[in-house]
Chain A
Amino acid sequence: MPIYPSENKRMSLAEAASLVQDGMTLAIGGGLSWREPMAFLREIIRQGRRDLRVIGTAHGIDVDLLCGAGAISVVEESYVGFEHDFGMAPNFRRVCENGQVQVHDTCCHTILQQLRAAEFGIPFLPVRSVQGTDFLKLHPEYKTMTCPVTGLPLVLVPALSPDVAIVHAHYGDAQGNLKILPPLVADLFFIRASKHVIATVEKLLPIDELREMEPNVPYFWVESVVEIPYGAHPTSCYPFYAYDREHLAEYHQAAQKGPEVFADQYLTQYVFEPVSHEEYLARIGGMAKRRMLESWKDGDDSWRKLFTAPEGAIA
């Protein structure tokens, strides 16, 4: 929401991540297994952030990883899971069930209305829905009223302005203009409603080149840009790469075995030990893995193979 007029928004990953402080409300871009800002989330875990509140719509490994690292104390998403591929999110489940994390589940249109109220600069927006459900008990900040125009009941949901929106864009430039390819999920709503916007980008382009692509986020909303190829791995960032199902299977198996095994087998290996993003990319399988994740372009058969269980990898 503030305006960031600076001409140069480039930062290192560590500098950008340090904008996130303990206790902040974070809106994570992307959705499910698509275009999650995973490299950024690994960095805030390395920096030891705690007590974050995450808000948004349908998410997966991004929120589950933060739960597994003990970085979150409140989850206000509409869904956290691995869909019909791997099912429930093990770390998310565990920290909700043991009380480490407060369950503040929301619903997609409700949270959109809250973000739009912030975007419009008004205190709330009404919805007809939510009545008759237990989300009203979960959210005492929602108010009910009789509509002065129709006489029918309405639920008023307050404006929500996250402290930080973190999105992974396909392209960006040094000034901070971004081009995000669809599905955009809730990214543009997060960007317009949040106080700080941080973008990691697959490719940093010269300003003229980006302008030719018709950016969909203007630079003055963006505070920080970091170029990180494969920054969404293990989620997908088409047209660059499909999601890494083999890696997700490894993740999910480690997470199912409880916090100690997850810390030992996953966090150490993929979050804490890699000293650089290049080292992370080597650990996930180097060039061979990257070629595989890019092979969706070779035709439907290659694409289909990326969704077929590797031998023994999937429970």
Chain B
Amino acid sequence: MTKKRTRRAREPVFPRELDLFHDDWLALTPKERLARAWALRARLRDPQAVHDAKLFPKP
């Protein structure tokens, strides 16, 4: 006979502890965040396509 598993009453439903990457991101300085985000942008194959798709969406 298997015992039915129940969640403990105090266990969070949506644990923010799973949001590890976000906490690391917040630990950076704004200057570091901007530099990393811009480095990520440099890896886009077609920045114009990304920009235009967001700004001028097809109806």
Partners in one complex: no
Interface positions of A (Cβ within 8 A of B): none
Interface positions of B (Cβ within 8 A of A): none
